[in-house]
Amino acid sequence: MKILDIKTMNGPNYWSARRHKLVVMLLDLEELENSPTDKIPGFLDRLRALMPSLYEHRCSEGVPGGFFQRVEEGTWMGHVIEHIALELQTLAGMDTGFGRTRETPDKGVYHVVFSYHEAKAGIYTAKASVKIAQAIIDNTAYDLEEDIQTLREIREDERLGPSTGSIVEEAIKRKIPYIRLNRHSLVQLGYGVNQRRIQATVASTTSSIAVELACDKEETKNLLEASEIPVPRGRIIYDEEDLKQTIDKIGYPIVTKPVNGNHGKGATTNIRTWEDAVAGLAAAKVYGRAVICEKFITGRDFRVLVINYKFVAAALRTPAAVTGDGVHTIQQLVDIVNSDPRRGYGHEKVLTAIKIDAFTNDILAKKEYTLDTILPKGEELWLKPTANLSTGGTATDVTDYVHPTNIFMCERIARIIGLNICGIDIMADDLSTPITESGGAVLEVNAAPGFRMHLDPTDGLPRNVAEPVIDMLYPPGSSARIPIVAVSGTNGKTTTTRLIAHIVKQLGYKVGFTTTDGVYIQNQLMMKGDCTGPVSAEFVLRDPTVNYAVLECARGGILRAGLGFHHCDVAVVTNVAEDHMGLGGIDTLEKLARVKAVAANTVFPSGYAVLNADDDLVYAMHKDLTCHVAYFSLRDDNPRVKAHCDKGGLAAIYENGYVTILKGTWKIRVEKVTNIPLTFSGMAEFNVANVLAATLAAYVQDFKTEDIRLALQTFVPSPALTPGRMNVFHFRNYSVMIDYAHNTHGLEAIGKYIKSVDASVTVGIIAGVGDRRDEDIISLGEAAARIFDEIIIRQDKNLRGRTEQEIIDLMTRGIHNVDPLKKITVIKKESEAIDFALQNAVKDSFVVITSDVVPDALEQVKHYKAKEDGIKIDD
């Protein structure tokens, strides 16, 4: 077997509109295509022995053991690898359940698709699953535990921590979108101007001054002490001399900790001797020059969580510990504690397994114990100096037992520091009585407090502490989203996208939009190139100045990684025509239509899919949609539109020279096409269709017809507004048009316009695209032969897997299929082809340049135009 490709989806995609996180592996079974599982001796027995938990996989049989039944009856190895991948992730603490395996047009080559939690883990799983299957086939030993542990480590390294993760999960419940901004804990909630950010449990609304104060433990202590909050006595020290003076003043026991520490790093508690004090000072100074030395307060360790200055939860924290039974050694007792099914690696379970580390060994040494010591019965031994859950500690929820006076004090502390997400550490016998009476004290105020102890306490009620965070970031009535219009289809996407963006901009919105020529924020070009994939979409949605997004969605990005958003308000599908056929397993128009329909499937139920009623495949998309549907048509007698509007539906049609909205049986004429520059007085019929789609997309969002009309009148096709889309230059003796048309459907659309042009000769500069099928390149040549009097064949910079001569021969064959006598000139370099055409243009001729690199072609033609007009330009 051989892996040909692995892709990870992270948004709505060809394989599933609902399951966004998918690995898509292209797998060549090679000779195993002829060996289903029932033909491989002993395969099922070895598979069952290595991964017995696969018994739970029901597969198509629908019962436990169903997958094993399929293996026994005989199934292909791609299907087996799909199930191995799902189970391997489950064994590593990432429970996933969606998978499918589909044939491709190439014999023995399959798409193996399965869900993942973390992309890096998904890719590792894909590779490991193939190795596992091969080992079972070959009857060789395989260390499954090594893969499981590696996946656990990848999971812990890649995933959001439990605190950040809980906030994101709460956001998802409320249908608030999120974007992970780095591989750590920086996350954007919401889109555009309505975004908020969190990093761990610090929010973009959190005061930076408050965070600085909380990190400076001495300043925090001074502020609290000045506000009559009970805090331990102590001072900042820098050396052993300061340490001795402080101990002489406050006495033992003491605590040492770094001034700017957190999560218990560098802290040493319950110090009772000078030697331990010196060691504690050294441990703290690892994290900074200044060290806090203060009185050790006896009692129990409590954490109180305050969010948006309101008390939310409280927990009693206990360090990792074992209790002796007079029989087992300390190491054995740790192993027994770790065998608790609630304990796991990292944050995968409620509790973290206890690890023996330097802190543990230090504690044991002070007690003159070793790991082989048998602990006396009933003796509790703390194995860590702090009560952090991440080091194996436990937490008990005590939220319901906190005295009102203590609640008031904690809410007041949050206000004093100015911290809207605040963890307050208190040492006291309990919190059911005021700590001013019980002799307790506030030890620390923490920015970015951990939520895990409250979300999954060892004992007591779990508390959804992420909920008040989202309530704070998005109070009732506020929105996390901005309007999103998605535009898909084979041809016309970019023009339609630009026109919608223009309409929206005219109404005062700050628009971000993506196209095949770049990403624009408020008409400023931010990124150049083909920017129609998910990365470009996220670029717009991340921008804090944008309050409206119009996103072109091309097939390449959808197949490569899915969409860059999960839902949109309006989706336009312009048409489905042959283009890129055979690439990515898309070898039929029906499959291509499924790709183009992905955007429409993401429309909110309250939103609209705007579909081309003249295109059978686009029209058929309505059957699978759960949103509203509106149609556009170049025919005023389209029966599909008529039936839809008879039921009260919305449509846009081209009738009697007008762009007209149909609202039920009512007609609303928006504007004459002769007054819409983009249509070239109605001669560019394909642009009339684009205008209809854009008009309808604007209308379904309740834009006024007079505003739409004005925007249509002011959208003038030009190299600036519509680069590479029917950019016409009129010279004294001839005219030139530059267009991006790169497939037969697009070229034929231009051909309809050219028929209306009064020209003595029409010349086409065209090129075949190397990664297209033979028949597609031939078809393009045939279309060119029907349109142009003379043809110049050029070559793209990227030949995409073919030789120059192959492409030229196929283009020539197509041209000769239509007219064996057609004049053909071959000039491989695009710039030289343009020079030749313009320098040899006859009077009243019309030259059409279908360009590979539109900006370069535009600059070259502009240079000729400036020279003719006598304008001096720098070369």
> Tens digit of pLDDT for each residue in 765-816?
998 887 788 888 899 999 999 999 999 998 877 777 788 888 889 989 999 9
Residue 32 pLDDT greater than 90, yes or no: yes
pLDDT of 227 reads: 95
Residues 496-538 have pLDDT tens digits of 999 999 999 999 999 999 998 899 998 899 998 889 999 999 9
Q: What is the pLDDT of residues 662-691, one digit of tens each?
A: 999 899 999 999 999 999 888 888 899 999
Query: Tell me, what's the pLDDT at 261?
Result: 66
Which residue blocks in 139-179 are alpha helix, DSSP H?
144-158, 162-173
pLDDT beyond 90 at 741: no
As a whole number of angstroms, the distance between CA 220 and CA 696 comes to 59
Tens-place pLDDT, residues 154-204: 998 999 989 999 999 999 999 999 999 998 889 999 999 999 999 999 999
Residue 809 — φ and ψ, nearest 5°?
A: -65, -40
pLDDT, tens only, 686-720: 899 999 999 999 999 999 999 999 999 999 888 87
625-647 as b/e: b if 16+ CB within 10 A = bebbbbbbbbeeebebbbebbee
Residue 875 has pLDDT above 60, yes or no: no
Q: What is the pLDDT of residues 237-287, one digit of tens each?
A: 999 999 999 999 888 989 998 887 666 678 888 899 999 999 999 999 998
> What is the CB neighbour count within 10 angstroms for residue 283?
21
Type and span of the H or E element at 497? helix 493-506
CB count, 10 Å around CB of 488?
28
Number of CB atoms found within 10 A of residue 801's CB: 8
| pLDDT of 86 strictly over 90 | yes
AA letter at 632: F
CA distance 419 to 48: 55
Two tokens at 615?
Answer: 């295109």
pTM of the model: 0.85
Q: What is d(CA 562, CA 352) in angstroms, rounded to the nearest whole number?
A: 35
- Give the residue-averaged pLDDT of 480-494: 95
Cross-strand pairs, 488: 573
Residue 38 Cα distances to 29, 30, 45, 70, 111, angstroms: 16, 17, 11, 9, 21
Structure tokens that stand for 412 in this block: 């007041």
| Beta-carbon count within 10 A of 419 CB | 28
The residue-averaged pLDDT of 394-409 equals: 96
Can you state the angle between helices 144-158 and 77-91, rounded to 10 degrees? Answer: 60
b/e burial code for range 257-277 (CB count within 10 A of at least 16 → b) = bbbbbbebebbbbebeeeebb
The pLDDT of residue 263 is 61
Residue 727's closest CA among 697, 750, 696?
Answer: 750
Mean pLDDT of the chain: 92
Instruction: Determine contact, residues 836/824, Cβ cutoff 8 Å.
Output: no
pLDDT in the model for residue 508: 92
Rg (CA), the chain: 34
Q: Residue 746: helix, strand or coil by DSSP? A: helix
Q: Cα(499)–Cα(678) distance, rounded to whole angstroms?
A: 9
Res 30 pLDDT > 80: yes
Looking at residue 362, its pLDDT comes to 86
Return all residues near 418 (Cβ < 8 A) that are at least 6 apart: 207, 209, 210, 213
Residue 530 · residue 464 · CB < 8 Å: no
**What does the pLDDT read at residue 873?**
61
Going by pLDDT thresholds of 50, 70 and 90, the confidence category of residue 209 is very high
pLDDT of residue 755: 87
Task: Reply yes or no on whether the pLDDT at 118 is more than 60.
Answer: yes
